[in-house]
Amino acid sequence: MASQFFLKTNKDIELFQGYPEFNECNHTSKDVQVISSVVSPCGRFLALSTKENIQVFCGANFETLLFETALVDVYDIKFSPSGNFLNTWERPSATDAEHQNVKVWFLNCEIDAASVTPVFQYKYKAQSNWALQYAKLDDFAVKQFPKELRIVKLDSRAPVFDFAKPFATLPADQDPADKNRKFTTYLVSPSEHPTICTFMPEKSGKPAQLTIWPVLEGKITKKIATKLFFKADSCQLKWNAQGNGILCLAITDFDSENKSYYGENTLYLLSFQGVNGTLGGNSVRVPLANGPVHDFTWAPTSRQFGVIAGYMPATVAFFDLRGNLVHQMTEQSKNTMLFSPSGNYILVGGFGNLQGAVEILDRHNKFKSVARFNAANTSVCMWSPGGEFIMTATTSPRLRVDNAVKIWHVSGNLVFVREFKELLKVAWRTPVPFKLQPGSSHIARDVHVESAAGEDLGLDPKCSKNQLSVHASVAEYVAAHPSRAAAAGGANGKGGAAAKPAGAYRPPHARRAGAGASTVPGMTAPRTVPGMTAPRTVPGMAPQAANGNANKTRRRKNNSNNAAGTSQENSPAPAPGTSAVSPEEKKLRSLLKKLRSIETLKQRQAAGDKLEDTQVLKIGTEDKVRAELQAVGWTGEQ
């Protein structure tokens, strides 16, 4: 692949070419420690900061120094979404109380390296939420003030950050009841017609408020969608790529049920249709398993999102844009979910205090597993821009031993490894999505993004599992660490985790989960009802009852066969991998499906959602459905 990636150590920055070369194309070494480094989202710039200065590089291999300026103690750097603005945060001065420690630099222009100056600067003491927020095309900037948000419109050629005369203002105290409240969290949507989502925590018995606002000139009073709820001291916000839906993870400091040290989690979904909500908005509470929310993320298509929630083993579930359940997997020890940039594949992994098991799912093939591998001690995991490779890394200070970066193919094969004594940061470089001015390596001619087709992202269509080129570093890594050979799924040319030897210890939950699995090579496991645990074939029915019905059916068939002069030995055997389902089992599955649908509607009704008349009538049939279930021998609970 053409996608590059960079690695940061204490004093070195190394840039590598992607698949299949994996050769080092640039190496920058400093005499002093590199405090912070970041690649712009557009892929045009690399910014570094030390205790003495900041440097910005551009070019095909970041070989060109765009400018360097003396700036002491820059501890954080952030780029705007289109990369036109660089924001730097310096440690507040102990001697100068009026020191303006946040500076904004404009990069999409011809820069005189000898006299570069910031286009805007202000004072901000905290190192959290210090940076301005920008719209997707860098044409709007938002800054928070004590009681309102101010929005300025920026000229792409000569931007002016005049927050004293803003383009629009968004007051927090629009309602007289909210006079002493303010926005604690806000996030600008990544759409060309931006909107802003704001959050106010509950206070003095008043519920928390989550609201989506359009960006309109003047004082903004129109609400696109809003949601009021309790149990929310803070929140995490995530927009989808189209900017018409946002997920809010509401977090409390304490768990009222005293089951968790980390408080309670609740997930809410706000969405709308049309530009700036012209076709209406919607707000729902996402139905999740009891327990903490480990991860939640949007699909690149913006029509689905995935959530990992519940006590370990956790539940992995996928929902549509209206919060309806699309697919749910069996419980497993996972806490990380990442959609590939193309949206074709989903990575589900268990990192941190889990074992590092990774599974790749095919979203277009009923979420079928296509590969498995083990990436133990992973602290960083991310897809390549083309969606064909996965980077996992063990970095310091999360772990100070076994620091390394590994790149895996989507088939589960390990294709590149590099070990470090101390690795601090890794990141992919996104291929530049803009058209650049002739003769310039950093000035975007226009702000519109080019087509994100696979070939534009550097995707190699000829690369497949059977033609995969594995770098020599993989063989060296396996030879140096024989005990980790099984974890490197591609070391032997076969993707997936290594099989356990016969007689190996298996924990009790694994024994139960595998009790009904087929032991005959080449034969698939017997069918089970989705969402239910093995070994029961029919959920909720005692094994004796299910076996009894099946035995009665067999006796009736045998009697008719014997009366016709046939024998059981001469009757054709069922095809391998298939299983006959009795009419009783079919009816039971249909009734259980209706009951699950009724339970989902009841949860939505309890959450305050408005149901259609047919859905209300469906809830009223619950007693009838349960009576029919008991009539066919259902003895358990849903």
Residue 158 confidence class, pLDDT cut points 50, 70, 90: confident
Q: Tell me: the pLDDT tens digits for 16-53?
A: 888 888 888 888 888 888 889 999 998 899 999 988 88
Residue 625 confidence class, pLDDT cut points 50, 70, 90: confident
Of 58-72, 125-139, 173-187, 345-359, the poorest mean pLDDT is in 173-187
**Domain-located, residue 625:** yes
The b-or-e profile of 539-552 (16+ CB within 10 A means b, else e) is: bbbeeebbeebeee
**Domain-located, residue 113:** no
Classified as helix, coil or strand, 511 is helix
Say which residues have a Cβ less than 8 Å from residue 255's Cβ, sequence separation at least 6: 261, 262, 263, 264
Give the mean pLDDT of 226-255: 89
β-strand 168-171 against 218-219: which pairing, if any?
A: parallel
CA torsion angle for 175, 180, 186, 189 (degrees, to 10)? Answer: 20
Give the mean pLDDT of 484-496: 47
Q: Tell me: the pLDDT tens digits for 249-269?
A: 998 877 766 666 677 889 999
Using an 8 Å Cβ cutoff, are 102 and 161 in contact? no
**Domain-located, residue 596:** yes
Q: Tell me: the pLDDT tens digits for 568-620?
A: 444 444 444 444 567 778 888 888 888 888 988 888 888 878 888 888 888 98
Alpha-carbon span 292 to 244, nearest angstrom: 26
Of 20-34, 75-89, 329-343, the poorest mean pLDDT is in 20-34
Q: How far is CA 282 from the centre of its chain?
A: 22
Residue 449 confidence class, pLDDT cut points 50, 70, 90: low
Number of domains in the chain: 1
Alpha-carbon span 629 to 529, nearest angstrom: 16
| 3-state helix vs strand vs coil in the chain, percent to 5 | 15, 30, 55
- Which residue, 343, 342, 310, is CA-closest to 329? 310
What is the extent of the structural domain holding 636? 529-555+578-638
Say which residues have a Cβ less than 8 Å from residue 110's Cβ, sequence separation at least 6: 443
Taken in order 233, 306, 134, 440, the sign of the CA dihedral is: positive
Tell me the percentage of the chain whose pLDDT exceeds 90.
27
**Domain-located, residue 591:** yes
* Bond preceding residue 397 cis, omega within 30 of 0: yes
**Domain-located, residue 548:** yes
**Domain-located, residue 239:** no
Mean pLDDT of the chain: 79
pTM above threshold 0.75: no
Distance separating the N- and C-terminal Cα atoms of the chain = 48
The b-or-e profile of 272-304 (16+ CB within 10 A means b, else e) is: beeebbeeebbbbbbbbbebbbbbbbbbbebeb
Q: Tell me: the pLDDT tens digits for 266-280?
A: 999 999 988 877 777
**Domain-located, residue 227:** no
**Domain-located, residue 74:** no
272's tokens: 């709308």
